[in-house]
Amino acid sequence: MRPKIVLLLVRSFLQGVKPFQTYFARMSIMKKHGMNRFFTILLMLVLAFSFLILEGMLAVNFYIYQTLGALMGFPYLGVFLSCLVGFFFLFIFSLTGVSSVLYRSKDVSLLMTLPLHGSEIVCSRMVVAYGLYGGIYALIVVPALVSSVFVQGFSFMYLMGSLFLLVIGPLLPLSLGMFFSSLLLRLAKGKQLKLLEEVFSTVCLLGFFLLMMASFTRNVGENSLVDVDYQAMMMTLAPLLEDLIAQFAFFSFQSSTLYSTTSLVLNLVASLLVSFLVFMFISKGYQHSFSLVLSSKNSRLHAFKKGGVQVRTKNQSLMMREIECVKSHSVFVFELVGELLVPLILIGVYAVTGVLGELEGVVELVASSPYFMYGIFFAMALFSNMSMLSSTSVSRQGSLFVLDKALPLSAKDLVRAKLSLHIVLVYIPNIIYLTLALLYFDVELVNLLWMACLSFFIIITCAALSLAVDYSHPVLDWTLPQQAMKSNLNGLLGLLISLVTIVMFAVVLLGPVLLGLPGYIAFALTLLLGLGGSYWSVKVCIAKASGALCR
Amino acid sequence: MIDFEHCTKGYSSLARKAVNDLTLHIEGGQIFGFLGPNGAGKSTTIKMLVGMLHSDSGMITIDGKKFEGDGRDVKSLLGYVPDEPLFYDKMTAYRHLNFIGDVFGIPLEERQLQIDTLSERFELKDSLSDEIGSFSHGMKQKLAVISALLHSPKLLVLDEPMVGLDPKAAFLLKQTMRMYADQGNTVFFSTHIMEVAQDVCDRIGIIDKGTLLFDGTVKELQTQKGKGNENLEQLFLDLTKGDKH
């Protein structure tokens, strides 16, 4: 293996793919056009604020555990938990993405025709994966490291240990993610085991995230963020945490790098050793694995050939095309499944953690409130609309977007098909979730009538506006599918717009009720907003789509 | 120069083999045209030849060397122009050619000379500083040819190279292929365009449904079919049982 070539491959990937620049591409477009400068700054501030809130929540959570650890005689409990969470989060996250970095990325085909050692390609792809995913680990561990200073104090050793942990920590989960991803690929002879890789990962990742949030809300008191009943926590959580520490001794050892040089060195050796072994495993037979991936792509093409002739309407055909587009990359399926299953995962997590039982008590208290059913309605609206399903659906077409320009299709046709699919994917589950929620909370089912009606308009409005955002500046020249979804600012903009839309609907629906007006007036006003909003947003979306097709 | 020995490749156990028991020997210094209808197995054969796909059985040797491990030794002998150009879109053409030069370890002076000569020949010199993503298909195809020739390979493999090229560039490519073969190198290319095959190839191979139907010169094909006056297009249609329209 030639280190110079490995560096060349990494540099070429960065120069040729520019993976981090897609995030900022939209901002630079806005600046170039000299428009919406205020909006750009506002957006950046909102994003920065949201990021700080998330990190702050994690920091408080870890601070509580760090303090609890001090009481339990385990001084780095918060850091231990952050290492554990960071590990699993990155491991599960990398399971879905690394196979595209290692084998399926468009540029790998180019590299495979060049006289390169398999080990050189693998090493460079591991470095690229570290660069792409390593930050996720830091997002989780940094809050724990910062909050730990307030409990344990600061020292030079602590600083060095922290930096070391941030650099070396991602190696193990990433390496294991790569190992299992490669192993699965070999066992499946190059086929993507979507059900196993994507659905499993999505469920795990979201479950994990919600578990963290549930844990956070359980600990925080009503009056202050640090108003915590440590005595109660000791009683309920100490045995569980002691079990965790015993079962995941490695992370306890990892957290001890903050104060022990020996641990630091041993941790370094262990991480590098595992990474090296995984590197050897992937390198051996890399050529064969790539050949399997290429073969499986072709066998999928053969499978499509067997399909019979079917006549569909233009709209149905375009909807089917949209589904094929989603199925073309695991990242897209991952996003879709995850976003649609959030309520179920949330219920599962709450049931496991016992929060559901506590919620029942709270629900009994608030169920008698006249606003309770509105709460259910808007909670479900948030679940259904805080998604990237629509807001990146043009970007995910990538270079194939040019087909839309070539085919005799109007902007209206394309928008109608995208929104129709969105309705099928989002509205139907939304109605199911609403029905189940009404039944569970013993709210009269007749309320489903107005809820179904308003929900339809909210979903249409949010989806059309999000789609308009993506049509105005689609990210089409991506190499990794992640660039079209997770690294696409249009998705975040879409989320923000959906949030604002739902708040507007909430104000119009609840405002009159709070003012003492009858419910049917509130409903009529909201219906009016829904009709007007959805009509206007679809118009905007078609206009933006027309613009994109003419460019 | 190239030896396929009983090579077979299938994409799934149910579908017919994409390439079935292919045995083919190609001497050095020749232009070999690989013809066949769509889905005949041309691209699969080429992908096996350049080491992107592994055959299920059989063996391929190039210049006496087998594909072993990552096949680095064999790959350093060949230049490959794929059917769909493979590039980093955000790179400039210069940067891409430098990348290829670095991978093949081409010294600076030789690299500069090759880039100048080839980019001038294919009229791409003025666009070398542009991002590849902004190139037309034809320009990408030209860049792919320049990249493949940059390290002066012993074997040039081209998959449908004429697609997207303007008449002048197509003529230049044919001329380059001829010059290249005359220097003792080998050119293996697939095409649908019978006139190109008839004009340029020293030998042709015709494949259909994964099976090699003919291997020899156009003259030999005419003799074999007893139709000395028929052109390659008619012979091809006859051999692959296509319609004559």
A chain contacts of residue B51, beta-carbon cutoff 8 Å: 112-113, 287
Among residues 250-309 of chain A, which lie with CB inside 8 Å of chain B? Answer: 286-288, 290-291, 294-296, 298-299, 301-303
Smallest Cβ distance to B72: which of A15, A115, A302? A115
Start-to-end CA span in chain B (Å): 38
Asked if A106 is an interface residue toward chain B (Cβ–Cβ < 8 A), one would say yes
Query: Which pair of tokens denotes residue B77?
Result: 């002998």
Query: What is the C-alpha to C-alpha distance for residues A179 and A278, in angstroms, rounded to an integer?
Result: 6
A295·B50 Cβ contact <8 A = no
Contact flag A12-B99 (C-beta cutoff 8 Å): yes
Q: How many angstroms separate the CA of residue B218 from the nearest CA in chain A?
A: 31
Q: Between A232 and B21, whose confidence is greater? A: B21
Spatial distance between the Cα atoms of A217 and A61, rounded to a whole number of angstroms: 9
CA pair distance A330, B171, nearest whole angstrom: 43
DSSP A10-43: HHHHHHHH-TTTHHHHHHHHHHHHT--HHHHHHH
**A113/B75 touch (CB, cutoff 8 Å), yes or no:** yes
Q: What is the pLDDT of residues B83-123, one digit of tens each?
A: 888 787 778 888 888 888 888 888 888 989 999 999 998 88
pTM: 0.65
Please answer yes or no on whether B100 and A303 come within 8 Å at the CB atom.
Answer: no
Using DSSP's 3-state secondary structure scheme, residue B152 falls into: coil
How near does any CA of chain A get to the CA of B224, in Å? 34
On whether any CB of chain B is under 8 Å from the CB of A28, the answer is no
Range A293-303 average pLDDT? 64
Compute the mean pLDDT over every residue in chain A, rounded to the nearest whole number: 80
Token match 């050949």: residue?
A291
Residues 6+ apart with CB under 8 A from A26: A473, A475, A489, A490, A493
Strand order in the sheet with B65-66: B19-26, B2-9, B57-62, B65-66
Per-residue pLDDT tens for B204-213? 999 988 889 8
* Closest C-alpha to A111, from B42, B51, B66: B51
- Smallest Cβ–Cβ distance between A17 and the set B69, B80, B88 belongs to B88
A5 CB near a chain B CB, below 8 Å?
A: yes
DSSP A178-240: HHHHHHHHHHTTT---HIIIIIHHHHHHHHHHHHHHHHHHHH--SS-TT---HHHHHHHHHHH
Cα–Cα distances in angstroms (integers) from residue A189 to residues A104, A173, A441, B90, B143, in the given order: 14, 24, 48, 32, 34
Average pLDDT over residues A388-394: 75
Whether residue A18 and residue B90 make contact (CB cut-off 8 A), yes or no, is yes
Q: What DSSP state is assigned to residue B126?
A: G
Give the H or E element holding residue B81: strand B78-81
Chain B interface disruption, residue of A17, A298, A301, most B CBs within 10 A? A298
CB-nearest to B11 from A109, A116, A302 is A302
How far is it, in rounded angstroms, from Cα A515 to Cα B39? 71
**What is the least distance, in Å, from the CA of A109 to any CA of chain B?**
7
Q: What is the mean pLDDT of residues A221-244?
A: 68
> For residue A539, what pLDDT band results from cuts at 50, 70 and 90?
very high
| A400-423 per-position pLDDT tens digit | 787 677 667 788 888 998 999 999
Contacting residues of B for A116, CB less than 8 Å apart: 70, 72, 75, 103
Q: Which of B18, B75, B90 sits opposite A16 (nearest CB)?
A: B90
**Nearest of A431, A66, A408 to residue A219 by alpha carbon:** A66
User: Who contacts A139 (Cβ-Cβ below 8 Å, separation ≥6)?
Assistant: A55
CA distance to partner chain B, nearest, from residue A121 (Å): 10
CA of B194 to nearest chain A CA: how many angstroms apart?
A: 26
**Residue A110 near chain B (CB below 8 Å):** yes
| Angstroms from B93 CA to nearest CA on chain A | 11
Residue A200 corresponds to which amino acid?
Answer: F
pLDDT in tens, A187-222: 877 766 655 666 666 666 666 666 666 665 555 555
**Portion of chain A with pLDDT greater than 70, in percent:** 81
Which is more confidently placed, B8 or A441? Answer: B8
CB contact under 8 A, A115 and B50: no
Partner residue facing A114 (CB), from B54, B89, B103: B103
CA distance A179 to A281: 8
In A371-512, DSSP assigns E strands to: none
Say which amino acid occupies A171: L
Q: What token pair was written down for A214?
A: 């549930």
- Read off the pLDDT of residues A4-56 as tens digits, 9 standing for 90 and up: 889 999 888 888 877 776 556 555 555 555 556 666 677 777 777 877 887 88
Neighbour-count burial for A450-476, b at 16+ CB within 10 Å, e otherwise = bbeebbbbbbbbbbbbbbbbbbbbbbb
d(CA B161, CA B144): 9
Mutation for testing the B interface, residue in A2, A22, A24, A113 having most B CBs under 10 Å? A113
Compute the C-alpha angle A173/A175/A178, nearest 5°.
105
Which residue did the predictor score with more confidence, A259 or A195?
Answer: A259
Sign of the CA dihedral running B142, B144, B147, B149? negative
Cβ atoms of residues A241 and A77 within 8 Å:
yes
- Which three-class secondary structure state does DSSP give residue A253? helix
* Among B65, B89, B145, the residue to mutate for chain A (most A Cβ within 10 A): B89
Enumerate chain B positions whose Cβ falls within 8 A of a Cβ in A.
9, 11-12, 15, 18, 44, 47, 50-54, 69-73, 75-76, 80, 82, 86-91, 95-96, 99-100, 102-104, 133
**Chain A residues with CB-CB distance to B86 below 8 A:** 106-107, 109-110, 113
Give the one of A115, A294, A303 whose C-beta lies nearest to B76's C-beta. Answer: A115
- Residue A475 sits at the vertex; the CA angle it makes with A474 and A476, to the nearest 5 degrees, is 100
Instruction: Give CA A107 to chain center in angstroms.
Output: 25
Chain A residues whose CB is inside 8 A of the B88 CB are 12-13, 15-17, 107, 110, 479
Task: Look up the ipTM and state it.
Answer: 0.70
